[in-house]
A and B are shown apart, each in its own frame.
Chain A
Amino acid sequence: MTPWLFVVVALAGGVGAAARFALDSLIRIRTAGRRMGEVLPWGTLVINLSGSLLLGLLTGFAGAAVLPGVWLSVLGTGFLGGYTTFSTASFETVRMLQDRRWGAGLVNGAVQLVAATALAGLGLWLGSLLAA
């Protein structure tokens, strides 16, 4: 990896993090004061699920050689890596379990993981269709 690519990937991660913050704020405002907004952290869920689908798709495209590896690094490792987050998801799950909200904690921990993996798998499959 060239030093320039390293810098561009890092900057793309910064853009992804800012996009995550903006979308999360928007979703918090839309769900504020409603019951659904208190049940689950929808912002992080929407971000992690959409980002997993998109990374699967980009990785599928790269595997099918329709997306150059450099673009997979910038958009995948950089932008989507900064856009999605594990630490916040983990923190939100632990807080739910500390509050004895077992069902919500299980959904946020286990269901998020299964759904994100399924969406990434769907993306990989859709992307690889282009190889045919």
Chain B
Amino acid sequence: MADPQLPSDPDTEVVDAPTGPPTPALVRPATLAIVFAGGTLGTAGREALTLLIPPTGGVPWAVLTANLAGAFALGLLLEALARRGADHGRRRMLRLLLGTGFLGGFTTYSALATDTAALFGTGGAGLGVAYALGTVLVGALATLAGIVLASAMHRTTRTRLSSAAERGRA
């Protein structure tokens, strides 16, 4: 913690105030609009999946698919952006649009919890445990796979760039 007046995370907007604690600029319109736009598209994507893949036996396959695909994509996105440099400017805008907005809206926790509780309520406790634990465990593996893929892609690009530079010098 270098300076308590500064936010610990670049997600946070702070307005300079001469005295007192930092004030969040929560309604900074441009930033909220980016998250809103991404969230609208992400929710539309999840809804479209729900129309395409109907639930069977109380298991919401569409939400499961959205959560696992979104977990993989967020790992890929955040690792790829972090490896390209600090979180500001265009990279920050992409993170807010695609990560916080689109993938945040595409994936959902409330439906996971409510569908699991409903499975328990209708006597499908085993199925409820399998659905909930399966989502969280496979989701974590999917996130990790996204992170690992982004690291590998970054290394490949760097290797290709440096060998191109070698050839340029030769």
Q: Please list the residues of chain A having a beta carbon within 8 angstroms of any beta carbon in chain B.
A: 1, 6, 9-18, 20-22, 24-26, 28-29, 32-33, 37-38, 48, 51-52, 54-56, 59, 76-78, 80-91, 93-94, 97-98, 109-110, 113, 116-121, 123-124
Min Cβ gap A91→B in Å is 5
Number of residues of chain B lying within 8 A (CB) of chain A: 68
Judged by a CB distance under 8 angstroms, whether B16 is at the interface is: no
Q: Which 10 A-B pairs have the closest CB atoms?
A: A13-B43, A17-B39, A14-B40, A121-B117, A52-B113, A116-B113, A10-B44, A55-B110, A86-B107, A87-B74
Min Cβ gap A2→B in Å is 12
Distance, CA A61 to CA B74, complexed state (A): 33
Distance, CA A16 to CA B4, complexed state (A): 29
When distances are taken between beta carbons in the complex, the residues of chain A under 8 Å from B44 are 6, 9-10, 13
Min Cβ gap A66→B in Å is 17
Please give me the residue from chain A that is nearest to B74 by CB atom: A87
With known contacts A26-B24, A117-B113, A85–B36 Cβ distance under 8 A: no
When distances are taken between beta carbons in the complex, the residues of chain B under 8 Å from A110 are 136
